[in-house]
A and B are shown apart, each in its own frame.
Chain A
């Protein structure tokens, strides 16, 4: 198997990932050359609107892209020293739910209604940690306690419908975290939750992350969550990362016109804007992404060059970069 020296604090490195959907008459480029990395203990955000490819990127990392239809056509996913795309399906199972876990948007559909919560949280314990009986139960109870579910001994024997939405999402988080994964992928885990419950959940994940040193990928369109939870952020548009940087840097000095527009288009509490900045048009159809920079039809600063050629990666120091002709030319 291929091995590569990735430095000791890098957990995940994605290189040129491409995941396409093959339809009868079209190829839908959901992920079109995505590269980013996640350091150990780091929280990295993937932000973008629907169709920007953030969820498909995550499913590709888990090698769970919808079959048939979608395929990872190119790229490398280095998890420490292993390229996940070189592993057999059997070897991959040792990663999924063990070394990397995913918490999805809808806790209603990620739990099986006919098994008790205890049985479901115990599944990764049995499969990956090979623990049984009292030992497994003790671990499940610990997990439920860690996500602060009250009276876990009682809740263990209950079914998902007996839990509220917020509590169900905690159960899903407990399932993901029992095996103490090195990477947790949180795919819009709070969209269906009320604000106070969302705040509780965010705090919980942050505490767990600090205690266990787990790396987290936050997939969201909520710029508030990114600002509060992430160290770095990757802004996605039409299947590519258009800007990547440290959160403080990006919120202070966004380089890409799309990042800037996103930040200006959300109402900010306390800062009364007369009018919200409005990005004209809509995200592109992934079957026919415009030539050049995919954002040009909506970009207020588009030049002729933008319509012809995709801008190269311009380094902004450290690992920060942007793909925009404006910064590239302005250097």
Chain B
């Protein structure tokens, strides 16, 4: 088995809110409610689920943009919350992110040189010629001409901007990159370019990815293992082959059946009704029971929360 790079154990994030203007309602929005998984060296782990399932909140906690309410995140065997000073800086160097919208994730007032060069200056103290060389190298890595270092973001198309965001993420030679919907803002023909680039970089640099996506075709193409989230809980975790060959959870089945296939001879599967439940007062028992097509009338699904069972295979 490959080495574990990142391990998330019983992670939870509860936000205040859900009350009215007289009472805050307390910490009652349970965005993430006890999620465990790991990302191994060199693998892509995908978190999938619909809006409000908590996948982005999980990513934010890993990036230290949110404080977990409960649970631990360990990186290379060490608890991330214990990191201080240089240890913390090192973690921030090794874990990078690429976000969905390359229009808002790049500062419009900064030249590409400074966008990609900033982490190099801050973390490695590179200046002058060394800095320019390294930025040029990074631009070449992501398929851009080093001459473009003098340009501003508005001079690039969406796909090129996403390449710049990737170059910035690569600058400090990270081990893990969190990819939050990295291609959903891009045109179809550009998506393939970015996805191929990400796969090539992973192979060449031995990177690990935490891929957050709602596009199950892209997830199948990119990832080694898949975790499905529904209203703050992980409902299924499987290797890619198990997941796409033989899903176990009815929600995973519903997700797969909902994807319109680009083949007129493959009819659309049976979809489920209803909408994603709210993380404010989530349904009792199994959170999916309100939409489940095979809901057991025995009250079990409604009353008892199904236990997380590891290693079914």
Contacts and interface: CB of A to CB of B under 8 A. Distances in A.
Interface of A: 49-50, 164, 166-167, 194-200, 202-203, 221-229, 247-248, 251, 261-263, 265-270, 272-273, 275-280, 282-283
B63 to A, nearest CB: 24
B268 A199 contact: yes
Nearest to B200: A275
Given A267-B221, A269-B217, A275-B196, A251 B264 contact: yes
A196 B199 contact: no
The 6 closest A-B pairs by CB, nearest first: A224-B260, A267-B221, A199-B258, A199-B271, A265-B192, A194-B50
A266 B258 contact: no
B287 to A, nearest CB: 14
A263 B216 contact: no
Given A278-B196, A282-B159, A194 B214 contact: yes
B130 to A, nearest CB: 32
Given A228-B260, A267-B218, A221 B187 contact: yes
Contact of A266 (B50, B157, B160, B262): B262
Given A202-B260, A265-B191, A282-B157, A196 B50 contact: yes
Contact of B259 (A203, A248, A269, A272): A269
B257 interface: yes
Contact-residue size bin, chain B (C-beta under 8 Å from the other chain): 35 or more
Residue from the set B190, B244, B267, B276 with the largest chain A CB neighbour count within 10 Å: B190
A279 B188 CA distance: 9
Given A49-B188, A276-B196, A248 B261 contact: no
Contacts of B218: 267
Contacts of A276: 192, 195-196, 221
A209 to B, nearest CB: 14
Given A194-B50, A227-B263, A276-B192, 20 more contacts: A49-B189, A164-B275, A166-B275, A194-B51, A194-B214, A196-B276, A199-B260, A223-B262, A225-B260, A247-B264, A248-B264, A266-B188, A266-B192, A266-B262, A267-B220, A267-B221, A268-B263, A270-B220, A276-B195, A277-B192
A195 B214 contact: yes
A278 B191 CA distance: 9
B193 interface: yes
Given A195-B214, A195-B258, A269 B244 contact: yes
B94 interface: no
B115 to A, nearest CB: 20
Interface string B35-54: 00000000000000011000
A199 B269 CA distance: 9
Contacts of A278: 189, 192-193, 196
A282 B262 CA distance: 23
B257 A199 contact: yes
B201 interface: no
Interface in B145-168: 157, 159-160
B262 A49 contact: no
29 contacts: A49-B188, A166-B275, A194-B50, A195-B50, A195-B214, A196-B271, A196-B276, A200-B271, A221-B188, A227-B260, A227-B261, A227-B263, A228-B268, A229-B260, A248-B265, A251-B262, A251-B263, A251-B264, A261-B189, A265-B192, A266-B188, A266-B217, A266-B262, A267-B195, A269-B217, A270-B244, A276-B195, A279-B189, A283-B187
